[in-house]
Structure 1
Amino acid sequence: MADKQTTSKQTWRQRARSAMAFSGYLHHRIGHDRLTVTAGSMAYVTLLSLVPLITVVLSALSSFPVFAGLGELLQNFVIENFVPAAGEVVKQYLNEFVANAGKMTAVGVAALFVVAMMLISSIDQSLNYIWRVHEKRRPVISFSIYWMVLTLGPILVGSSIAVSSYLGSLNLLGSDAVNGLLQRSLRWLPVIMSSCAFLGLYLLVPNTKVRFRHALVGAVIASILFELSKKGFALYITNFPSYQVIYGALAVVPILFVWVYLCWCIVLFGAEFTASLGEKSHWHPDTKGWQTTVPTQAELSGIQQAAKKGTDVQQTDIIGKGKNK
């Protein structure tokens, strides 16, 4: 009995030690990668690409008769679940901008498509930098991935919303218990969708192998932070209307920018968390030659090449080679 308690205490101590080491490494990595600066630049690109992206998404949906009428439903879903506070004002402005964009010529539409691609390209570059990937995909592959995101993404989201709307309209057997369970399940739809979006982002965008387990953990953490920040941000805007007092009718601009910036901080934090899980040799206390250092691109490239060959490389070996160069 005493041996079991001693073993249990040692196990918990090892887990606590590993958790502390991982937290320190993650904090150091975030500072090294200047997460907040990257999030700011991504927020700027997002606001620049927002209207073109929505225009492309609505055009993709309208190309399929089965998704006719889902454009407005998709907008309402995004505004209500992903833009806390000032949602109606944002929706009104976006509708006006999209309506104006619809009057453009073919050249203008092509320009909108290019701007929308800029956002996805920026996401690709930022996430690959976090994973220390310096080998770029071939242009054909990159374009195919971007095209798939811009076309299949809206279709998948539209399908999900159509299914949830259909289920929500059903009156199954007239049972209050069943309807209550269905409503509670539908309430979790935004969380599930955001988790799936983060999971796909962390698995597919980096041009390197990412373990599904690591990506899933990072996606769940990012989704939880997203939901908490959404509620907290809405509470702040509602109870402390400083932006409305200062900017008046233009308050929606800084509010939207701050929210988009906060969202990118969460997305990049989840990416840093996922990438750190895959760099166990750099933070786990039981690793030979362990020290909390952020791997450079050359060091991580050596680790990835060794992993492809199936050889076991210690952190000190990689760092030593990098310094000798």
Structure 2
Amino acid sequence: MNFERFEHYWQRLTPRLRVFGSLFLKRCREDNITVSSGHLAYVTLLSLVPFIMVTFTIMSAFPAFSSVRGKLENFIFSNFVPTAGDVVREHMVSFVGNASEMGAIGILSLLLVALMLISNVDKTLNRIWRTESDRPLIYTLAIYWMVITLGPLLIGSSVVISSYLTGLATFAQEYTPGLGTFILKLIPSFAALLAFIILYMVVPNRQVKARHAIGGGLLATVAFEATKAGFALYVTNFPSYQVIYGALAVVPILFLWVYLSWVVVLLGAEFTCSLGEALDHERTEDQPRKVPEE
């Protein structure tokens, strides 16, 4: 009886999966996510130093986050930058230190570059959702500035919470061996999942249902962890970049990693959008058709 019920559900689910899969692949081809990822990767590398500088500057203005900078650096470079994390961190800290010594005009130009990254992410995701970023200019600038100012505070809060969870995991490790290590491994994945869900729900200039964003966030998180493991394995076992570029190998490695990360982000966005369209299409077909009156 259970097998017959499973077979019945599978027969109903198969055509839905086929429709969703074709829609998802069609959208990925039409939106050229590989090209968009390359553009975002280029803009990200230009905006990385300004964004980090703004983040640390805002954090330093709040005494509660005075000790967060080191924890934030350790958390990001040890969990989200596979291999060469120490080298990238050393260069980034040096670049941020040099940028902080610039004058007011130089710092303002760096802020404009950081805003350019947010603008490009906004336009790319709205293009995926087939919506226009037709917000008034003042409203758009207010949103971008809110991201610049409130983003570091949210990041600092998340790092503080992560440190608290790390303490709990260490405490649990003493009484339940293995549990603390398992929790520590889940913290970066949970942080990435939460970031993906917020991105897919807040950025598009239309309403995105939470369950669709969760689906896209789960796909992006799994793809991100798999990509991170595969990228680390490739760079470790096939050190072609170090042989060709030598000391400058960190530059193409970082660019390639940022590019792959944006591919994952856009894949999750396409999945979220395709999920909503597929369900809307299914509801439309399930509605009874009206018979015209004679």
Same topology, TM > 0.5:
yes
Contact 1:168 1:183 in 2 (8 A): no
Partner of 1:20: 18
**1:179–1:52 distance in 2 versus 1, CA, 3 Å:** farther
Partners in 1 of 2:201 and 2:209 — Cα distance? 8
Partner of 1:128: 126
Residue 114 (structure 1) aligned with residue 106 (structure 2): no
Equivalent position amino acid for 1:111 in 2: S
Partner of 1:296: none
1:150-161 aligned within 5 A? 150-161=148-159
Partners in 1 of 2:166 and 2:190 — Cα distance? 16
Equivalent position amino acid for 1:126 in 2: T
Which stretch has the larger CA shift, 13-22 or 188-197? 13-22
Contact 2:173 2:180 in 1 (8 A): no
Residue 11 (structure 1) aligned with residue 9 (structure 2): yes
Contact 2:169 2:184 in 1 (8 A): no
Q: How many residues are treated as equivalent by the alignment?
A: 289
Q: TM-score, normalization: structure 2?
A: 0.91
Which stretch has the larger CA shift, 131-140 or 95-104? 131-140
Partner of 1:94: 92
Partner of 1:29: 27
Q: Secondary structure at the match of 1:278?
A: helix
Residue 43 (structure 1) aligned with residue 41 (structure 2): yes
- The one-character-per-residue Cα deviations of 1:107-155 (angstroms, maximum 9, x if unpaired) are 1111111110000000000000000002512223222222222222222
Partner of 1:138: 136
- The one-character-per-residue Cα deviations of 1:144-168 (angstroms, maximum 9, x if unpaired) are 2222222222222222222332453
**1:313–1:80 distance in 2 versus 1, CA, 3 Å:** farther
Identity value in percent = 47
Deviation at 1:5, TM superposition (A): 5.0
CA RMSD of aligned residues (A): 2.4
Equivalent position amino acid for 2:223 in 1: L
- The one-character-per-residue Cα deviations of 1:195-230 (angstroms, maximum 9, x if unpaired) are 110000000000001011000110111011111111
Partners in 2 of 1:172 and 1:10 — Cα distance? 47
Partner of 2:269: 271
Deviation at 1:182, TM superposition (A): 3.7
5+ unaligned residues in a row in structure 2: which ranges? 290-294
Partner of 2:161: 163
Partner of 1:244: 242
Partners in 1 of 2:238 and 2:180 — Cα distance? 35
Partners in 2 of 1:33 and 1:171 — Cα distance? 42
Partner of 2:292: none
Equivalent position amino acid for 1:187 in 2: K
Contact 1:195 1:219 in 2 (8 A): yes
Which stretch has the larger CA shift, 178-187 or 111-120? 178-187
